[in-house]
Amino acid sequence: MPLLVLAHPLGAHVLTHLRDQTTKPALFRTLSYQIGLLLALEATRDLTTVAKYIDTPLEPMAGRVLAQPLAIVPILRAGLGMVQPFLDIFPDVSVGYVGLERDHTTAIARSYYCKLPPLAGKRVLVVDPMLATGGSAAQAIDVVKAAGAKEIVFVCIVSSPEGVAKLQGAHPEITIHTGALDRELNAKKYILPGLGDFGDRLYGT
């Protein structure tokens, strides 16, 4: 499974401000959108296209259009903060939801909600801002595979080596796109240096 770390100066700029503990929720949401847009473009760079013949105002030509639809599946609740960029730039995208909540004592996720569109034949992008232990990501990908997804990509903003290793072990064929690969997890399974609890900072809770 390839691990692809975002290499863009704007990505580094946005991540620095996301990490800053003084960043307020309103700005945090804007920054999340910006880095989500960069990651959306990177995670779909290899989409196939097919020829489409059109008439410009001057002459006929053969253009290219996307060959397959997309589905984005955020892991609730923090994953919702990564959905809008995909909706804004892709003309044919459906959205599913997998609700997983991490127990802060055991760091094990429990499932509380699942609603998925048809996934067969689609590029499925499972998104969650933080790839910490990797348990939630691996569990969510189990769910979308069971629903018929064959072509799956995982997209996150910050990842840990432990989370990457867990996801690679559980789903070795899945490509991971991340904004940053951080140093490690602390004793409470938070990413260091990280940016804290993404959902709490996104929603001001």
Among this protein's residues, is 142 annotated catalytic? Answer: no
Cα–Cα distance list, 198 to 29, 157, 184, 186 (Å) = 10, 10, 17, 16
Contacts 24+ apart (CB under 8 A), 163-169: 163/131, 163/132, 163/133, 163/134, 163/137, 163/191, 164/3, 164/131, 164/134, 165/134, 166/133, 166/134, 166/135, 166/137, 166/138, 167/1, 167/131, 167/134, 167/137, 167/138, 167/141, 168/1, 168/3
> What residues contact 101, with CB distance under 8 A and at least 6 apart?
109, 110, 112
Question: Any catalytic annotation for residue 197?
Answer: yes
102 is catalytic: yes
The DSSP symbol for 81 reads: G
Among candidate residues 49, 106, 110, 142, the one labeled active-site is 106
Any idea what the Cα angle at residue 194 is, between residues 105 and 178, rounded to 5°?
110
Is-catalytic flag, 16? no
Whether residue 77 has a cis bond before it, omega within 30° of 0: yes
Per-residue tokens: 34: 């910006």
Q: Which residues are catalytic?
A: 102, 106, 197, 200
